[in-house]
Amino acid sequence: MEKGSKVNHHLFVRENKAVSFSDETLAKIRSLIRRYPEGRQKSALLPVLHIAQEELGGYLSVDTMDYVASLLGINPMEVYEVATFYSMFYLEKMGKYVLEVCHTGPCAICGGEEVLKHIKDYLHIETGETTPDGMFTLKEVECLGACGNGPVMQVNTEFYEHMTEKQVEKVIEELRQKQGEEGTSKGWAEQFS
């Protein structure tokens, strides 16, 4: 019988490090804010957090969130509440590549569980862990809306579909090779006109 049911949360530290977006990104954020009515600039919070996570270290530090709060003129607590609600936001430093493997029903019945297990064996990490070289973090996520192409995995929000044990090895090795190079896919800020 299961013994404990411990909630795995902890408090975070405000380091008071200066963080800031580039001028270009700031201009983009200003244009995003204008998409919403006057006084509703908080609406831009999710897109801005996506951009912040991507451009300011791969996760949302307290300092980053405080910065976003100041940009939108809201209480930092409102940002913490939102950042902890949505599963795409990371609160801790992640590996360079975050492997998010779908483990929901449709993927699971098409071999998703085997793929997941294989990644663990291959990288010698458990879910939630990062490889010692800081390259890969493994996450299990819920349905990614691509069930017909299961098993599905996302790496830094890019889709990898029809995964098999061989395929994931290939993907991982390719990512290893890419080390140092920039990714080819467009970043969050570039998605918006």
What is the contact surface with ligand FES in residues (CB under 6 A)? Answer: 102, 104, 106-107, 143-147, 150, 152
Instruction: Pick what 85 binds: other proteins, ligand FES, none; C-beta below 5 to 8 Å, kind-dependent.
Output: other proteins
Q: Which is nearer to other proteins, 105 or 133 (CB)?
A: 105
**End-to-end Cα separation, the chain, in angstroms:** 54
* Contact pick of 92, 133, 158, 174 for other proteins (by CB under 8 A): 158
Residues 47, 84, 54, 106: is their CA dihedral positive or negative? negative
* 8 Å CB contact between 42 and 72: yes
Residue 152, burial from CB neighbour count under 10 angstroms (0-12, 13-18, 19+): buried
Q: Cβ 114 to other proteins, closest distance in Å?
A: 10
Q: Cβ 151 to ligand FES, closest distance in Å?
A: 7
Tell me the sheet residues that pair with 98. Answer: 137
Q: Cβ 177 to ligand FES, closest distance in Å?
A: 27
* CA separation for the pair 132, 37 (Å, rounded): 46
Q: Cβ 136 to other proteins, closest distance in Å?
A: 19
DSSP 86-134: STT--SS---SEEEEEE-SHHHIIIIIHHHHHHHHHHHT--TT-B-TTS
49 interacts with other proteins by CB under 8 A: yes
Q: Which is nearer to other proteins, 48 or 168 (CB)?
A: 48
Q: Which residues sit at the interface with other proteins, rule CB under 8 A? A: 1-14, 35, 37, 40, 42-47, 49-50, 62, 72, 74-75, 77-78, 80-82, 84-89, 103-106, 108-110, 113, 141-150, 154, 157-159, 185-186, 188, 190-193
